[in-house]
Amino acid sequence: MQKVQELRMTRQRRIILEELRKVDTHPTADQLYLCVRDRLPRISLATVYRNLELLVREGLIQRLEFGGTRKRFDGNPEGHHHLRCLSCGEVRDASGHIPALQRVARSSDGYEITGYHLELTGYCACCRKDKDDS
Amino acid sequence: MQKVQELRMTRQRRIILEELRKVDTHPTADQLYLCVRDRLPRISLATVYRNLELLVREGLIQRLEFGGTRKRFDGNPEGHHHLRCLSCGEVRDASGHIPALQRVARSSDGYEITGYHLELTGYCACCRKDKDDS
DNA sequence: GTCAATGCAAACGATTTGCACGATC
DNA sequence: GATCGTGCAAATCGTTTGCATTGAC
């Protein structure tokens, strides 16, 4: 009989989750590793990677399906959209809803649409100011 | 005075472009490498990578900003949307336009929106059939 | 003939894995 | 006390780069 694997709440796992939930940028594994190391100096990067994958599988966090070579993680498990600044590269949450989307999608040839990923790109307030100054 | 670098049309470059335009899936560099090698058995993977980047810079093809660890390339240089099948993983073009999008985006806090990436996920006609059979 | 482009191999950065030890239940 | 999770180091994967040679113009 198949034993369901139990999930132990280790110090490392708890602190990784806490730190990820604390920020509203969507850090890469090693950005998060740096934060976590302030509280757990002996933690290894491999542990961060392992726990992030595990938390994704548990549905407690999300892995962003976008951009660049590095994976980014999101402490908010709900579906939502993102804004990526083309200047500083940071990714923040976009509020609001895009209601027509699912309907549009359903018209495409034979696909059964179950979801979508949306990333808006542009310049954040901060970087726009820098641009205007120069 | 700055000399503009000229772009030589080598056999490799031409064939890479031809093979990429031939397919409507959006291959990774090494998927394309396999196709191209049928016609140029001595080509190296590095050449494929170098030319893909170059063709992106020239605006002749697009690099997809989505999904997974591997880069994917698109022979169609026009902006358009994609459908990714959650079962077979293939990425195909989605027809249609999502008109309200830019307007919605502009309301978000201080961002100047210049574009967006949209990927729909679901099951392609082929994989839906497999699901129904089983 | 010049200089960009190639093929090869080695380097690289991000992520994953094997293994002995440590910690949670 | 069993076994899951950790830290460390080595392995792996996708991609990039250095360099001597080749080929397009």
Q: What is the pLDDT along chain A (134 residues), one digit of tens a residue?
A: 444 456 889 999 999 999 999 998 889 999 999 999 999 999 999 999 999 999 999 989 988 876 667 888 898 877 677 776 666 556 677 765 554 455 444 545 667 777 777 777 777 777 666 655 54
Helical segments of chain A, H only: 11-22, 29-39, 45-58, 101-106, 125-133
Q: In whole angstroms, how far apart are CA A126 and each of A26, A74, B102, B106?
A: 17, 22, 20, 16
Q: Are residues B48 and B92 in the same domain?
A: no
CB burial of A67-86 (b: ≥16 within 10 Å; e: otherwise) equals: beeebbbbbeeeeebbbbbe
Take residue B8 and report the two structure tokens written for it.
């030589």
Closest CA of chain B from A42, distance in Å: 28
Q: Which CATH number is A52's domain given?
A: 1.10.10.10
Interface contacts (A, B; CB < 8 Å): 114
Q: Are residues B96 and B63 in the same domain?
A: no
Q: Are residues A91 and A65 in the same domain?
A: no
Q: Which CATH number is B92's domain given?
A: 3.30.1490.190
Nearest to A15 by CA among A42, A43, A45, A36: A36
Please, which residues 62-81 of chain B have a Cβ atom closer than 8 Å to chain A?
A: 65-69, 71
- Band the pLDDT of B14: cuts 50, 70, 90: very high
Q: Judge whether B124 is closer than 8 Å to chain A, CB to CB.
A: yes
Q: In whole angstroms, how far apart are CA B101 and each of B53, B79, B107, B122?
A: 29, 14, 11, 21
Q: Are residues B8 and B46 in the same domain?
A: yes
Last residue of a domain, one of B53, B78, B103: B78
Give CA–CA dist B124/B134, Å, rounded: 16
pLDDT at A30: 93
Q: Are residues A69 and A106 in the same domain?
A: no
The residue range of the domain holding A129 is 79-134
Q: Are residues A89 and A133 in the same domain?
A: yes
Answer whether B67's CB lies under 8 Å from A69's CB: no
Does position B91 have pLDDT exceeding 80, yes or no? no
